[in-house]
Structure 1
């Protein structure tokens, strides 16, 4: 069993966040900084695990995860493409 964690956008992710997700998390935060959603208070990420795969979800609904093949996927919780 793996426990999740939370952290604020635009801060260093905890060590529990896999390195493979970090570039896309940074890319989402860079885009976020260009919008009203990036203003204070900063949205927070939640890291959870499903079937052994990490899922990082931002309070805005953006999800960064791994698919079954191990590729990083960025999507919105309404299944809309984000990036």
Structure 2
């Protein structure tokens, strides 16, 4: 069993976040608009499904591994059309 974890966008991901996801997590965070109102940063949640890591941001952005083992970014709304 692998336990998940949570962390705020913009902070260093915990050591339990696999290297295979880190570049895409960084890309998502770099694409986020700058908050000019001082709102709290959205938080990531790392979970495991059938042994594969899935990082989901509170905004609905999901970073996971495809069948080839490459990290891909999608939005939870994309699941409605799968």
TM range (shorter): 0.7 to 0.9
Q: 2:13 maps to what in 1?
A: 13
After superposing on structure 2, the runs of 4+ consecutive aligned residues of structure 1 that deviate more than 4 Å are none
C-alpha distance in 1 between matches for 2:53 and 2:39: 26
TM-score (norm 2): 0.87
Decide which moves more: 68-77 or 52-61. 68-77
C-alpha distance in 2 between matches for 1:42 and 1:9: 6
- Could you tell me which runs of 5 or more consecutive residues in structure 1 were left unpaired when the two chains were aligned: none
RMSD (CA atoms): 1.4
Q: Secondary structure at the match of 2:12?
A: coil
- Could you tell me which runs of 5 or more consecutive residues in structure 2 were left unpaired when the two chains were aligned: none
TM-score (norm 1): 0.86
Of structures 1 and 2, the larger Rg is shown by 2
Aligned residues: 77
